[in-house]
């Protein structure tokens, strides 16, 4: 991996799609088209690996010497191990995912939770830049992901999509993720009522200074964010659904050029150290 790299590949594995692009790490801009393939049905490790290979192939970055690679995954990630599996196969629970991808792809990668890396992208290049206090980024997609950032430092694996709805038996993401809107055929105001409950609850628990909303639906933020009544400012992610790709790429370089990266990214790298 080149010590002078200013670009990296980010691959963001989601419950529905696997997205990738080459990213300019000085600006956070995409340098290539965004490639997206469907997440294989069942999302078993071998099938997900094959889909990641397709993305790298289409980006023409299959050579390990090309550019550093960061991979984001929709589960708790601790020391390269996935510890949960909300929208992927149960095989990922307690699974050496980072070394599985490294072996399968024949190259070193950096590996972290998808919402955490989206938070890092927004911190470095987007809506959370220069924001003091507590920023909570949530991704609204197949699930609800979260990144908690306090004074520029990420607190990884917060999993705020899984707070429980008292007396309902199901968690927040089953009720309020974008997939719940589609499943229950809600219109924007109906979905916004569910989001109102969710963000009010998170606001009560954590008293954040800023909410940032990412995920695919953030491109329609004008349809639902104005319907929410919160004390905390709530804004769309500047990089919308690309934040995961950008954050994964930013992470790919972490640790490779100590002193050049900001503290936050190095902290995140520390959580995924080999
Ligand atoms: C997972 C999280 C993930 C989120 C968004 C949730 O179901 O538990 O780890 O960040 O979905 O993909």
Which residue puts its alpha carbon closest to atom 4 of ligand 1?
145
Question: What's the gap in Å between 4 CA and the centre of ligand 1?
Answer: 33
Token duo for residue 115: 């919402």
Q: What is the model's pTM?
A: 0.92
Alpha-carbon Rg of the chain, whole angstroms? Answer: 17
Determine the distance separating the centroid of ligand 1 and the alpha carbon of 74, expressed in angstroms: 4
The domain over range 7-117+242-271 is classified in CATH as 1.10.287.180: no
Q: Name the segment(s) of the chain with CATH classification 3.30.420.40.
A: 7-117+242-271, 131-239
The CA 85 to ligand 1 mean position distance, Å, reads: 8
Give the residue among 252, 33, 220 at the shortest CA–CA distance from 141: 220
Whether 74 lines ligand 1, by a CB cut-off of 6 Å, is yes
- List, in sequence order, every beta strand (DSSP E) within 39-107: 69-73, 77-78, 81-82
Digit-by-digit pLDDT tens for the chain (274 residues) are: 444 569 999 999 999 999 999 999 999 999 999 999 999 999 999 999 999 999 999 999 988 777 999 999 999 999 999 999 999 999 999 999 999 999 999 999 999 999 999 999 999 999 999 999 999 999 999 999 999 999 999 999 999 999 998 888 889 999 999 999 999 999 999 999 999 999 999 999 999 999 999 999 999 999 999 999 999 999 999 999 999 999 999 999 764 433 233 444 444 444 433 3
- Mutation pick for ligand 1 pocket among 13, 15, 75 (CB with most ligand atoms within 8 Å): 75
Structure tokens at 100: 């599985």
> Does the C-beta of 116 come closer than 6 Å to ligand 1?
no
Domain 131-239 grouped into CATH 3.30.420.40? yes
Whether 159 lines ligand 1, by a CB cut-off of 6 Å, is yes
Nearest CA to ligand 1 atom 12: 74
Residues 6+ apart with CB under 8 A from 115: 74, 137, 138, 139, 145, 146, 147, 158, 214, 244
pLDDT at residue 258, rounded to an integer: 30
What is residue 254's predicted lDDT score, i.e. its pLDDT?
66
Decide: 87 in ligand 1 pocket, CB within 6 A.
Answer: yes
Tell me, what's the pLDDT at 64? 77
Q: Tell me if 143 CB under 6 Å of ligand 1.
A: yes
């Amino acid at each position: 991996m080149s010590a002078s790299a200013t670009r990296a590949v980010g691959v963001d594995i989601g419950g529905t799609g696997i997205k990738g692009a080459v990213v300019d790490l000085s600006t956070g801009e995409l340098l290539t088209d965004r490639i997206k393939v469907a997440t294989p049905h069942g999302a078993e490790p071998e099938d997900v690996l094959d889909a990641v290979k397709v993305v790298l192939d289409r980006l023409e970055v299959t050579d390990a010497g090309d550019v550093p690679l960061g991979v984001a995954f929709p589960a708790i990630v601790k020391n390269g191990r996935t510890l949960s599996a909300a929208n992927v196969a149960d095989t990922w629970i307690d699974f050496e995912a980072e070394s599985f991808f490294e072996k399968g792809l024949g190259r070193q990668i950096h590996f972290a939770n998808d919402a955490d890396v989206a938070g890092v992208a927004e911190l470095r290049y987007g809506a959370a830049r220069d924001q003091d206090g507590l920023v909570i980024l949530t991704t609204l997609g197949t699930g609800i992901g979260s990144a908690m950032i306090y004074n520029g430092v990420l607190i990884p694996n917060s999993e705020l999509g899984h707070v429980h709805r008292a007396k309902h038996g199901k968690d927040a993401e089953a009720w309020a993720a974008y997939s719940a809107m589609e499943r229950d055929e809600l219109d924007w105001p109906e979905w916004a009522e569910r989001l109102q409950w969710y963000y009010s609850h998170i606001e009560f628990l954590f008293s954040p200074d800023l909410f940032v909303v990412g995920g695919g639906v953030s491109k329609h933020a004008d349809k639902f964010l104005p319907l929410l009544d919160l004390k905390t400012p709530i804004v769309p992610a500047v990089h919308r659904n690309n934040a995961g790709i950008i954050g994964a790429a930013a992470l790919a370089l972490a640790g490779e050029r100590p002193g050049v990266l900001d503290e936050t990214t190095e902290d995140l790298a520390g959580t995924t150290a080999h």
